[in-house]
Amino acid sequence: ETGVTQSPTHLIKTRGQQVTLRCSSQSGHNTVSWYQQALGQGPQFIFQYYREEENGRGNFPPRFSGLQFPNYSSELNVNALELDDSALYLCASSKTLGPGGNEQFFGPGTRLTVL
């Protein structure tokens, strides 16, 4: 069983640029969530996708957007990059929308540095 994978591993961008991060969910999972983890902090929820629709969103501006594809893989897009966007971006997948105890399986993350 393949786990959650993310690409690229590392990325360096400059302020004002746009970036796309990619995530492949674990086999059999149809729900993908994205989190931002700034250095020395816990992960913060960005949004969740379920069957290609945004299912919930955290306190992030609209320049953070996403997509989910029919194979349940997902993209996170960030426009007009700011220095504070430098962080580890984590993708997590889960089997489906479930109760609060539904487990989320995390990928290794993409380290984004904005100069």
Partner 1 sequence: AQSVTQLGSHVSVSEGALVLLRCNYSSSVPPYLFWYVQYPNQGLQLLLKYTSAATLVKGINGFEAEFKKSETSFHLTKPSAHMSDAAEYFCAVSLLLTGGGNKLTFGTGTQLKVEL
26 sits near partner 1 (criterion: CB under 8 A): no
CB atoms within 10 A of CB 101: 5
Among 25, 36, 43, 72, binds partner 1 (CB under 8 A): 43
For partner 1 (CB under 8 A), the number of binding residues is 32
Q: Which two tokens stand for residue 107?
A: 């990928």
Q: Which of 56, 63, 77, 115 binds partner 1 (CB under 8 A)?
A: 56
Strand 10-13 versus strand 110-114 pairing type: parallel
**Residue 25 near partner 1 by CB under 8 A:** no
Q: Does 73 bind partner 1 (CB under 8 A)?
A: no
The correct pick among 1, 2, 70, 99 for binding partner 1 (CB under 8 A) is 99
| Residue 41 binds to partner 1 (criterion: CB under 8 A) | yes
By CB under 8 A, name the one of 29, 45, 60, 65 that touches partner 1: 45
